[in-house]
Amino acid sequence: MKLVHISDIHINADPIGGADTIAAFAACLAHVEKRHGDADAVVITGDLTHHGQRHSYVRLREMLDAWPTKPFLMIGNHDHRDTFREIFPEVEADVNGYIQYVRDVAGHRLVFLDTNLVGNHSGRLGPRRQAWLAARLSEAARDGLPVLLFLHHNPLPIGVLATDILALVQRKEFAAILRAHRDTVRHIFFGHCHMSLSGSLEGIPFSAPRSTSHPGWPEFEGRLAYGHGSIEPSYNLALIDNDNIVVHTIEYRLDDRIEWEPLTGGGTGSVTVPPGA
């Protein structure tokens, strides 16, 4: 299974920090189509727009309608749930109106969470959303399907104050649900931090790509400051089989600067391997 994970595209009519977010996302889409047009799934983990404005969702809809693959869409803290639903009515919501749903892809159950609280930048997973998640994980276990779990907000502190004050608020509750379903959830994918991250939570691996619009630079000295500059945007490419998951960071703007040197011989064949080596 090949899965493309894009996050924090922040579509906006005006540039953000000097970056044209629409052109940046278009370049990302073009690269995915060129290199990974055979992906089984493409997921965008929220902050689809910068201000949750209708015209930004309309612009995003135009871009995605012209693209051959239909990505799974999620909302982040910069999004507006009702406006999103107005422009993307086909994206499923749960009985409480949260944009959260599941899809089965290539022997896995993809679970998409809504951690948005409109008007607030930190993440929320209140009792109703917690119950929804626990129920979906129980169903997946019953159905014998491993889960790939997606959310916008970082569900743990990452050691960077500027993002940690905007993390998921109900981290303990989220971790408790993971503990109860550790054998079901194979990997957690999130965004929000605009930084390339990997690690584990409750023994479950996680990864996050940078933003396509304004990647961040980590600050480790406890200052409340957001680092930005000429940082390459990225998306992640996850290669998933029954045994392993490998996540590549794809800094897609560098692609046309790469020089390829053909390798011959492969380093095998003529070597005598001593016993026990």
What amino acid is encoded at 74 in this protein? M
Smallest distance from Fe ion to CB 232, Å = 16
Among 4, 6, 8, 178, binds Fe ion (CB under 5 A): 8
Options 62-70, 127-135, 190-198, 237-245: segment touching Fe ion (CB under 5 A): 190-198
CA pseudo-torsion sign 123, 87, 25, 240: positive
Number of residues that bind Fe ion (CB under 5 A): 5
Comparing CB distances to Fe ion, the nearer of 109 and 194 is 194
Smallest distance from Fe ion to CB 258, Å = 28
Rounded (5°) CA angle 101-75-190: 85
Among 59, 181, 192, 214, binds Fe ion (CB under 5 A): 192
Comparing CB distances to Fe ion, the nearer of 44 and 177 is 44
Among 29, 31, 47, 48, binds Fe ion (CB under 5 A): 47
Comparing CB distances to Fe ion, the nearer of 10 and 109 is 10
CA pseudo-torsion sign 47, 50, 55, 60: negative
Closest CA to 7 of 150, 275, 211: 211
Contact status: 210 vs Fe ion (CB under 5 A) = no
- Rounded to a whole number of angstroms, the CA Rg of the chain reads 19
Structure-token pair, residue 236 = 């992640």
Buried b (16+ CB within 10 A) or exposed e, 43-64: bbbbbbbbbbeeebbebbeeeb
Options 8-16, 37-45, 49-57, 252-260: segment touching Fe ion (CB under 5 A): 8-16
By CB under 5 A, the residues from 58 to 77 that bind Fe ion are 76-77
How far is Cα 13 from Cα 18, in angstroms, rounded to an integer? 12
Q: Which residues bind Fe ion (CB under 5 A)?
A: 8, 47, 76-77, 192
